[in-house]
Amino acid sequence: MINNMNRKRGLSPVIATMLLVVIVIVIAIVVFVWFRGITEEVITKFNDKNIRLVCDEIELQASYDSETLSIVNIGNVPVYKIKARTFLQGNYQTVTLTENWPATGLNQGGAYSGPLSGDFEKILLIPVLLGNSERGELAHTCEEKNGEEIII
């Protein structure tokens, strides 16, 4: 019995040190990836104003009649694109308006009229703005709360 206890050995110090180093590296990578996911690139517009704040200033008037969607930009913020989210019985589908959309976007006082066909109960128009970042110009999709809702 005493003989068997002397034969049991633990990990060698080299293997234990290697395991600790690997564990520290894995934890460092996890923290780095997590932190990188939290921080996102800042997109600015209008004299370095955060584009998320600019989204709050968007003012659109919209209507829908016989498969034609009409939008007028009555605010001071040019809208680069519009994503139309259509709802039917709890489901939704999002499309980016492209047909007849102005190449430079919908500027102040600009109007758009184009087709939007389908069967739906309401439409939510979500603005997309073009802003500046360290990588150049980037498109930023505003939140749903900044959108214009049309009940059909």
Q: Judge if 117 and 94 occupy the same domain.
A: yes
- Other Cβ atoms less than 10 A from the Cβ of 92: the count is 14
Beta strands in 98-147, from DSSP E residues, in sequence order: 111-115, 122-133, 136-141
**Same-domain status, 87 and 138:** yes
Within 10 Å of residue 54's Cβ, how many Cβ atoms? 21
Strand partners, 64: 69
Q: What is the pTM of this model?
A: 0.72
Residue 3 is predicted with a pLDDT of: 56
3-state secondary structure of 101: coil
Residues 53 and 21 in one domain: no
Same domain, 60 and 86: yes
**pLDDT at res. 4:** 57
Number of domains in the chain: 2
pLDDT of the residue at 111: 94
Q: Could you tell me the CATH number of the domain that includes residue 136?
A: 2.60.40.3970
**Each residue's pLDDT tens digit in the chain (152 positions)?**
555 556 666 778 888 899 999 999 999 999 998 887 776 667 888 778 889 999 999 999 999 998 899 999 999 999 999 999 999 998 999 999 988 899 889 999 999 999 998 888 999 999 999 998 888 888 999 999 999 999 98
111 and 81 co-located in one domain? yes
Dist. CA 22–CA 57, nearest whole Å: 50
Range of the domain at 15: 2-38
Residue 85 sits in the same domain as residue 139: yes
> Are residue 72 and residue 105 in the same domain, yes or no?
yes
Considering the domain architecture, whether residues 63 and 102 belong to the same structural domain is answered as yes
Same domain, 29 and 72: no
Please indicate, yes or no, whether residues 144 and 102 belong to a single structural domain of this protein.
yes
Nearest alpha-carbon partner for 99 in 111, 116, 124: 116
Among 129, 137, 77, 138, CA closest to 107: 77
* 15 plus 80 within the same structural domain: no
